């Protein structure tokens, strides 16, 4: 009888500790591993993310010391949050693991569209990170119709990969005053295109690279266009906020199966 009472007291004491969070394994900073794991369930309840970084030289990582650009910092955040990640594209760049990208140096919106027409149906990404249009502004290429060309590209993404969530980035600030004027015009057109696509119920989130979080003039390289390492870290943070917003909207769904593509690209 005494043994039964002792066992009952032990069970009650353990239950009390668990209720107070005292019996859970803890990390050095005092947080329980349970709370950590609960936070790390991932976007879309942990759905694997097949991510295509799409754009030109900034997407490629030009100007960063390791050529990873924003991609490694962002990938690390996503993976730590609980999702498997496979970055996809036909133009790998950088020292990072899983360094695939669809970033093409000096390409305009139309040229990136041409590349996407081949790569998007090949990889069927369920996330596309889009930063495109800087070269159109630098070259002053048909700026009045830049929004139409961007809309054509975005609509093609949804046609060729219907499960895609697009995180659409505005263009970064530019040191050249004339280019910056065109960047502002482009960004205004971009937001109108985004409004239309969102009204059409497309899974799209706009992230503003000229917000307080985005790269500043002092974060650019001497060419006045491409970020340095700190600027790319800020880009990763802005894209991260866009992914969180997409998750709040329940946008993420499983990618279509593609033979030979793993859930984890590392």
Q: Is residue 265 part of a domain?
A: no
Q: CATH code at 189?
A: 3.40.50.1110
- Read off the pLDDT band of 40 (50, 70, 90): low
DSSP state of 60: H
Burial 158-173 (b: 16+ CB within 10 A, else e): bebbebbbbbbbbbbb
Task: Give the pLDDT mean for 191-204.
Answer: 98
Average pLDDT of the chain? Answer: 89
Tokens of 220: 């650019």
pLDDT above 90: residue 7: no
Task: Give the pLDDT mean for 223-239.
Answer: 98
Number of domains in the chain: 2
Q: What is the pLDDT of residue 266?
A: 87
- Read off the pLDDT band of 16 (50, 70, 90): very low
Please state, for a pLDDT cut of 70, what percent of the chain lies above it: 85
Examine the domain organization and report whether 118 and 28 are in the same domain.
no
Domain residues for 148? 42-248
- Read off the pLDDT band of 226 (50, 70, 90): very high
> At 117, is the secondary structure helix, strand, or coil?
helix
Examine the domain organization and report whether 112 and 244 are in the same domain.
yes
CA–CA dist 57, 160 (Å, integer):
23
Q: Is residue 24 part of a domain?
A: yes
Q: Is residue 224 part of a domain?
A: yes
CA end-to-end distance (rounded Å), the chain? 58
Q: Which residues contact 50 (CB under 8 A, 6 or more apart)?
A: 86, 88, 123, 124, 125, 126, 127, 255, 261, 263
Examine the domain organization and report whether 77 and 150 are in the same domain.
yes
Task: Give the pLDDT mean for 92-112.
Answer: 98
Q: What is the pTM of this model?
A: 0.85
Burial 190-221 (b: 16+ CB within 10 A, else e): beebbeebeeeebbbbbbbbbeeebbeeebbe
Examine the domain organization and report whether 97 and 50 are in the same domain.
yes
Residue 82: exposed, middle, or buried by beta-carbon count in 10 A (0-12, 13-18, 19+)? middle
Q: Is residue 9 part of a domain?
A: yes
Q: Is residue 175 part of a domain?
A: yes
Residue 262: exposed, middle, or buried by beta-carbon count in 10 A (0-12, 13-18, 19+)? exposed
């Amino acid at each position: 009888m005494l043994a039964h009472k002792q066992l009952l007291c032990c069970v009650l004491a353990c239950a009390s500790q668990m209720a107070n969070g005292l019996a859970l394994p803890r990390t050095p900073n005092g947080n329980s591993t349970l709370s950590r794991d609960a936070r790390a369930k991932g976007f879309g309840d942990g759905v694997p993310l097949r991510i295509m970084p799409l754009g030109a030289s900034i997407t490629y990582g030009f100007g960063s010391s390791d050529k990873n650009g924003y991609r490694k910092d962002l990938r690390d955040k996503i993976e730590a949050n609980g999702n498997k990640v496979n970055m996809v594209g036909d133009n790998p760049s950088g020292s990072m693991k899983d360094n695939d990208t669809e970033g093409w140096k000096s390409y305009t919106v139309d040229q990136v569209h041409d590349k996407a027409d081949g790569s998007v149906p090949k990889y069927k990404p369920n996330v596309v990170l889009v930063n495109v249009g800087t070269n159109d502004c630098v070259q002053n290429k048909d700026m009045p119709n830049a929004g139409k060309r961007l809309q054509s590209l975005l609509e093609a993404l949804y046609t060729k990969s219907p499960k895609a969530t697009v995180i659409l980035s505005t263009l970064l600030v530019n040191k050249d005053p004339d280019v910056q004027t065109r960047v502002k015009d482009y960004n205004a057109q971009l937001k109108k295109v985004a409004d239309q696509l969102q009204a059409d119920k497309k899974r799209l989130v706009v992230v503003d690279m000229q917000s307080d979080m985005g790269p500043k003039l002092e974060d650019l390289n001497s060419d006045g266009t491409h970020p340095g390492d700190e600027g790319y870290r800020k880009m990763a943070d802005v894209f991260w906020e866009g992914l969180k917003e997409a998750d709040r909207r329940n946008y993420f769904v499983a990618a279509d199966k593609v033979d030979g593509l793993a859930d984890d690209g590392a």
